[in-house]
Amino acid sequence: MKMHRKLIRLSAALLCLIMLTGCWDAKELDDLSIPLVVAYDTILEKEKEYPDDKYLVTVGVPVFYEDVESKFHVIDTTGQIIGEARGRKNTQLGEQVIFGQLQVLLLGEELAKKENLLEITDVIARNPRVKASIFIIIVKGRAVDLIKKPPHNYPNVGIYLKALMKNSKDTNFFPYTTLFRFNRSLISYETAALLPHVICRDGEIMLAGSCLVNEGKISGEMGREETETAVMLSGIECKGTLSFEAKKDGKVIDEATFEGRNSRKVTLKIIEGKYVFNIQIKLSGTIVEHKKEVPMQDGTDLLMVFQDSLEQHIKKRAEALVEKTQEEFKFDALCLAKYIKAHTREKLTKEDIDRIVQESEINVEVKVQIRNVGGKM
């Protein structure tokens, strides 16, 4: 009995320790502002508050007060380093800023081309309150302009961009790069990170392509089609649609749209000192559209034709991107470094990895598996 009482007392004391946040750390919700989106840019001359300012940091905070003019408060501040600019925002905010719900980090294109993004994002990565799963997006033009753009049918740009990034992997073959994946690519794999590129066209914010960030800076840009291929080659698993021409004996017999998932398998062999990569792209899904009114069951080989045609279509695009990687980019844009590191006992530098990627033999094989043809035969 005595022992039980002791245990109960001890448990109660422990519970108090766990549950009480303490008088000093008590926080009222009314005293907090919770940014959803942050944007970093290089500064324009006219924006400088002090002559030495280099960066413009813009924070988008939803406003919870009723009867206010705007429900989304955008604050921009300047500073010599990001932390300084971020700190200056407190002179414009009535509440304490909590970064725990930060969803999206926008980076202006010019900044991403000039500065090392690992250094720029340090202030975010160092903050334990910021989740490692926030999305990083490169903005065509300046990020500050995008953050101030009210999106249609969404409360604010932060909510819209989070929804766009969160769902893009289920609707598009586009990269969805989080802070953690960005750091892992650059630091652990020493490969280039593939970041989504967003533009604002005719007042609409949309995904336009992607950027390759090598050694912290943008080193290559890709349009929609190349991005899709890069996603498949890099093994970023998504679900999306692909339209293609169905060819039989070199003749176009139909046009079709495929919807499905991608995956990648890489095998690496070192033959007489030469690295030979075999990248197998797997696509599995459904034909959601084909133009010609030929019933599928009548042409028993039609499905095979679609499969072969899509395989050839993607293979051609993939081989073009492999060539571009080896001859134009000249760095690992295909996320092969982790395979090189896993198979090599020597200590490799980033230069070694890039050289291996340039000099290696990279074979691409595409395997398409059409499982279904939709609700119409």
Partner 1 sequence: MEIKSGSSITSKQLIFIMIGTMLGSGILSLPRLAAKEAGQDAWLAVILGSMFPLASLSLIRLLYKKNDAASFVEICRKVGGRWLGSLFSIILALYSVLTASVLLRVFIEVISMFLLNDTPMLAKLVLMLSVCAYLASTNAKVIGRLNEFLFYVLLPIVFFSLPAIVKNSDIRNLMPVLNFEVSDYARAALTTGFAFSGFELYIVFHPYVLKEKEAYGASLYALLITLVIYLYFVIGVISVFGSELTQKFTWPTLRVLATAEVPILERIEFLFIQAWIGVSFRPISIQYFCASHIIAELLKLKSQKWSTLGLFPVMILIAYYPKNIFQVFKLSDYVGQIALSIGIALPLILIVFGMFTVKRKAVNDENA
Is residue 218 within 8 A of residue 112, CB to CB? The reply is yes
Alpha-carbon span 340 to 191, nearest angstrom: 11
Report the DSSP pairing between strands 135-139 and 104-108: parallel
Name which position in 8, 14, 206, 304 contacts partner 1 (CB under 8 A). Answer: 14
Check binding of 65 to partner 1 (CB under 8 A).
no
Name which position in 29, 65, 69, 128 contacts partner 1 (CB under 8 A). Answer: 128
Q: Which residues pair with 4 in a beta bridge?
A: none
Name which position in 132, 200, 305, 348 contacts partner 1 (CB under 8 A). Answer: 132
Check binding of 345 to partner 1 (CB under 8 A).
yes
Name which position in 8, 13, 206, 270 contacts partner 1 (CB under 8 A). Answer: 13
Q: Where are the alpha helices (DSSP H) in the chain?
A: 2-19, 82-88, 109-114, 117-120, 122-125, 143-147, 157-168, 179-183, 224-234, 302-324, 337-343, 350-359
Q: Which residues pair with 209 in a beta bridge?
A: 197
Name which position in 100, 155, 223, 295 contacts partner 1 (CB under 8 A). Answer: 100
Q: What are phi and psi of 110, to 5 degrees?
A: -65, -45
**Closer residue to partner 1 in complex, CB, 192/246:** 192
Alpha-carbon span 135 to 152, nearest angstrom: 21
3 state SS of 276: strand
Name which position in 167, 188, 297, 369 contacts partner 1 (CB under 8 A). Answer: 188
Range in contact with partner 1 (rule: CB under 8 A) among 32-40, 275-283, 290-298, 339-347: 339-347
State the nearest-atom distance from the C-beta of 139 to partner 1, in Å: 24
Range in contact with partner 1 (rule: CB under 8 A) among 106-114, 244-252, 295-303, 342-350: 342-350
Range in contact with partner 1 (rule: CB under 8 A) among 21-29, 43-51, 70-78, 323-331: 21-29
Name which position in 343, 351, 369, 374 contacts partner 1 (CB under 8 A). Answer: 343
Binding footprint of partner 1, residue count (CB under 8 A)? 34
For residue 101, how many C-alpha atoms fall within 13 Å in the half-sphere facing its CB? 12
3 state SS of 16: helix
Question: Which positions lie near partner 1, rule CB under 8 A?
Answer: 3, 6-7, 9-10, 13-14, 17-18, 21-25, 100, 128-129, 131-133, 178, 180, 183-184, 187-189, 338-339, 341-345
